[in-house]
Amino acid sequence: MPEPARPRLLLADDEPDLLALMQETLERQGYEVTAVEDGEAALAAIRRNPPDIAVLDLMMPKRDGFSVCRELRNDPLFTNLPVIILSASGSRETKMEGMDLGVDDFIAKSMDIRELLARIRMILKRSRQGLDANPLTRLPGNRSIESRIEEALAGCRPLAVLYVDIDHFKSYNDAYGYEAGDTVIRALADILVQASRRWKDSPDFVGHIGGDDFILLTAPERMEETARAVIAGFDAAVPSFYKEEDRRRGKIVSTDRQGKIREFPFLSVSIGICHNSHRKLASLAQVSEIGAELKKHAKAQPGSKYVVDRRKD
């Protein structure tokens, strides 16, 4: 049986001696540690190799700990990433500001290293118990998706829900294997996240239902532009998923389980868009039913496409 993966930590502090001490201590305790000395480097390291927890100094060059935390909370991939702030200031105002940003814990820089270890263990345990993130893509899962939709409906806020699914995914998995299939799923997750970041004023929400099914929540006025961006990004990436001979043919030729030779089209993406521009959406169940219906209509057509609910009653 393979050994369980070591928890991954990101440490960011501009005091080299303290940073080295924390890194050495945590590595001796079995953690995999990435250590950096400023906020910009912290963000880059987190995006390059997402950790299980980030420990950030409050006052750092380029970006302070709060700025890094704010950036993470606005990113669908890192909404739930646990963040500990190390601070020389234990003022009530500082802690309140951090809590508003979604900081999970504060530790004084004069702390005993054993306290840091205990806090990290506690937060990791709590995070894993309540984890609602897909392990493959790290996007929020079904509980978060349902909560976001229900909040928007309860507040009567403008809402567009994009139900996103990959076409011909099973035949691709059969021909290329599950590891290649996982690469495709991660690629679509990245494309959805990039599409959600197009709107700096109000970042959209991306969730992973499971398998090759995703959700993107946005505003009705930008739903079609967002869908077109997702389709363009996915279609541009599709050739890279195939071997050269399949790219030349423009299709997969393989033998099914009955020994028959079959041809399968390249992967594409189907999107069903449910929104409340023209009629009120009353419940999560109604949204799910309409979304599934629209996605089915989209999948009945060849190639990547989206279908918008145009009904007004």
3-state SS of 173-218? HHHHCHHHHHHHHHHHHHHHHHHHCCCCCCCCEEEEEECCEEEEEE
Rounded distance between C-alpha atoms, residue 138 and residue 41, angstroms: 21
- Number of H helices and E strands in the chain, helices first, is 11, 12
Tell me, yes or no, if the two domains 8-126 and 142-308 fold the same way.
no
What is the model's pLDDT at position 131? 58
Taking residues 109-132, report their average pLDDT. Answer: 76
* Position 244 pLDDT exceeds 80: yes
| Top-confidence residue, 132 or 265 | 265
Look at residue 81 and give its three-state secondary structure: coil
Distance CA 98, CA 95 (A): 5
CA dist., res. 309 & res. 293, Å (int): 10
CATH 3.90.180.10 holds for 142-308 = no
**Could you give the CA distance from residue 57 to residue 188 in angstroms, rounded to a whole number?**
34
Spell out the domain ranges in the chain: 8-126, 142-308
Calpha distance 79→101 (Å, rounded) = 11
Specify the pLDDT at position 2: 43
Looking at every residue in the chain, the average pLDDT score rounds to 87
Burial (CB count within 10 angstroms: exposed 0-12, middle 13-18, buried 19+), residue 274: buried
Cα separation, 226 vs 195, whole angstroms: 6
Task: Answer yes or no: is pLDDT of 180 > 90.
Answer: yes
| Partners of 177 in beta bridges | none
Task: Please indicate whether residue 194 or residue 312 has the higher confidence score (pLDDT).
Answer: 194
Enter the DSSP assignment of 93: H
pLDDT at 309: 93
- Two tokens at 305? 């496409």
- Tell me what pLDDT residue 1 has: 37
Fold of 8-126: Rossmann fold (3.40.50)
